[in-house]
């Protein structure tokens, strides 16, 4: 794939292949140990598209954030949330977030990438600035979405608790 890209996109593609967060690259066995979730379950989550590796070349790698998310899911199960409900929530979140992710990448390409390419003094400078901008955008967008979801979840939970109980 990267052979068909221009030098700027190739630099971004390489950075993405190396992983977005850079926080503790774990293979599937290590992810299993860090999360307490069996490898067979992780493989099933991969097949469903719920567990997505940060890097796929040459080996599928995951971050410590993935391990934390898996531990959170395990806590929900241990707290009484049925597996089918947890899977339905994960699928719904994936379906809702995919268009947001696509739009975020599109906005970056239109407003940041084009500006960097236009103002960079050289191809090398453009590549470096694009990779840095892309990493910043990925982290900022992730933090923004996660923070907003947490706030919505709290607000929704409060509103549900404030509703009068029907007798």
Residue 63: closest CA among 94, 32, 22, 28: 22
The larger pLDDT score, comparing residue 32 to residue 118, is at: 32
pLDDT of residue 149: 92
Q: Does 63 score more than 80 pLDDT? A: yes
Residue pair 131/94 in contact (Cβ under 8 Å)? The answer is: no
3 state SS of 62: strand
Domain ranges across the chain: 2-162
For 105-140, what is each residue's pLDDT tens digit? 898 888 887 787 778 777 778 788 888 888 888 889
pLDDT of residue 82: 97
**Confidence class for position 151, pLDDT limits 50, 70, 90:** very high
Among the four given CATH numbers 3.40.190.10, 3.40.50.720, 1.10.1660.10, 1.10.10.10, the one describing domain 2-162: 1.10.1660.10
Q: In whole angstroms, how large is the CA radius of gyration of the chain?
A: 19
pLDDT of residue 20: 52
pLDDT of residue 35: 96
Q: Does 22 score more than 60 pLDDT? A: no
Q: Does 1 score more than 60 pLDDT? A: no
pTM: 0.73
């Amino acid at each position: 794939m990267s052979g068909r890209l221009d030098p700027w996109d190739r630099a971004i593609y390489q950075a993405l292949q190396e992983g977005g967060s850079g926080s503790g690259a774990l293979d599937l066995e290590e992810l299993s140990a860090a999360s307490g979730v069996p490898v067979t379950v992780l493989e099933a989550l991969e097949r469903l598209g719920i567990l997505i590796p940060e890097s796929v070349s040459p080996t599928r790698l995951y971050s410590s954030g993935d391990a934390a998310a898996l531990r959170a899911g395990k806590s929900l199960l241990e707290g009484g949330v049925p597996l089918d409900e947890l899977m339905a929530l994960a699928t719904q979140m994936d379906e809702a977030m995919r268009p947001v992710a696509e739009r975020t990448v599109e906005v970056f390409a239109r407003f940041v990438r084009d500006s960097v390419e236009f103002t960079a003094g050289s191809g090398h400078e453009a590549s470096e600035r694009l990779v840095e901008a892309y990493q910043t955008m990925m982290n900022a967008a992730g933090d923004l979405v996660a923070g907003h979801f947490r706030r919505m979840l709290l607000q929704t939970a409060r509103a549900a608790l404030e509703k009068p109980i029907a007798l």
